[in-house]
Amino acid sequence: MASSTSPSTLEPMVQKLAYRVELDALDREAILALPFQHKVIERSEFIVRERELATHSCLMLSGYSIRSKLTGDGGRQIVAIQMKGEMVDLQNSLLRTADHSVQALTACKVAYIPRQEILRLAAERPTVARAMWIDTLVDASVFREWIMNVGRRDARTRIAHLLCEFSLRLKLAGLGRENGYELPMTQEQLADATGLTPVHVNRSMKTLDAEGLIHRLNPRVIHIGDWRKLAEAGDFDSNYLHLRQGDAALN
């Protein structure tokens, strides 16, 4: 872990918030002036554990992380996937104790920001506060879509939906190639995200492949043959991501 005051490290946070609300120069400066610590998180390492006190928020600079919860009998449910530019753990850090864990899916670079500094920023810059609030509201909207995904869609549709969400979000984050991307998760992790078993995830992806909706060079590299068809198969409508006009039409 290394302290840093590099002026541009928090730029992704400015971008993220400016996407939601118009920020003036003072707002931007205030964000960039936040104290933070650079940190590298290894694959599988926990950033926050359920029931811990979370004292920091963190901004993803690279890599992927997941949020998950455990049932009493050991089942795991992944409730969100985070990527570059996203604020992890505004949720946990503003509340007393974490209600879910955050874990690195791949090696990650993050910027740690003390909870107190986030609160101070919010108090001093109402516009920034509003942007962060809206950001958490969009997170909540994604949660709702996931409830519907696991509650009311069959296996094939759930997987297709997740692949669509991934595709769009990767493009927005500036990752991902033209018609495809590399999945950062194993089939077991996909299963935990969709409420299925690894075996059935495998079967469902095989089906999507056989139907020509996706092509796989290797199990993790997804090529999307026809976005329209995949979106239809996944009952995917990007409305819940609350993107801007142009971005929603990316695919």
Partner DNA sequence: CGGGAGGTTGACAATCGTCAATCAGAGTGG
Partner DNA sequence: CCACTCTGATTGACGATTGTCAACCTCCCG
Q: Does the protein bind DNA through residue 179 (CB under 7 A)?
A: no
Do residues 102 and 116 make contact, with C-beta atoms less than 8 angstroms apart?
A: no
Binding to DNA by residue 218, rule CB under 7 A?
yes
Check binding of 212 to DNA (CB under 7 A): no
DSSP string covering 102-148: EEESS-EEEEEEEHHHHHHHHHH-HHHHHHHHHHHHHHHHHHHHHHH
Binding string, residues 215-244; x marks residues near a second copy by CB under 8 A: --------------------x-x-xx-x--
133 binds a second copy (CB under 8 A): yes
The correct pick among 16, 28, 56, 67 for binding a second copy (CB under 8 A) is 67
Q: Which does 218 bind (CB under 5 to 8 A by kind): a second copy, DNA, none?
A: DNA
Residue 203 binding a second copy, by CB under 8 A: no
Do residues 88 and 16 touch, judged by C-beta distance below 8 A?
no
Closest approach of DNA to the CB of residue 80, in Å: 20
Q: Which strand ranges, in their side-by-side order, compose the sheet holding 2-4? A: 2-4, 36-41, 108-114, 56-62, 87-88
By C-alpha distance, which of 212, 91, 198, 103 is closest to 140? 91
Residue 72 sits in the site that holds a second copy (CB under 8 A): yes
> Among residues 6, 15, 55, 97, which is the contact residue for a second copy, using CB under 8 A?
97
Told to check if 223 binds DNA by CB under 7 A, we report: no
> Strands 108-114 and 36-41: what pairing?
antiparallel
What is the size of the binding site for a second copy (CB under 8 A)? 53
**Cα-flanking dihedrals φ and ψ of residue 74, to 5°?**
95, 0
- Choices 35-43, 52-60, 76-84, 219-227; region in contact with a second copy by CB under 8 A: 76-84
Kindly report the length of the chain.
251
Cβ proximity to DNA: between 128 and 191 the closer is 191
Among 33, 53, 119, 250, binds a second copy (CB under 8 A): 119
Check residue 5 and report its DSSP letter: -
d(CA 129, CA 114): 16
The CA-atom distances, in angstroms, between 100 and each of 46, 49, 75, 211 are: 11, 7, 13, 36
The SS3 of residue 167 is: helix
Interface with DNA (CB under 7 A):
154-156, 186-188, 195-200, 202-203, 205-206, 216, 218-220
Chain positions contacting a second copy, by CB under 8 A: 51, 67, 69, 71-73, 75-77, 79-80, 90-91, 94-97, 99-100, 119, 122-124, 126-127, 129-130, 132-134, 136-141, 143-148, 150-153, 194-195, 235, 237, 239-240, 242
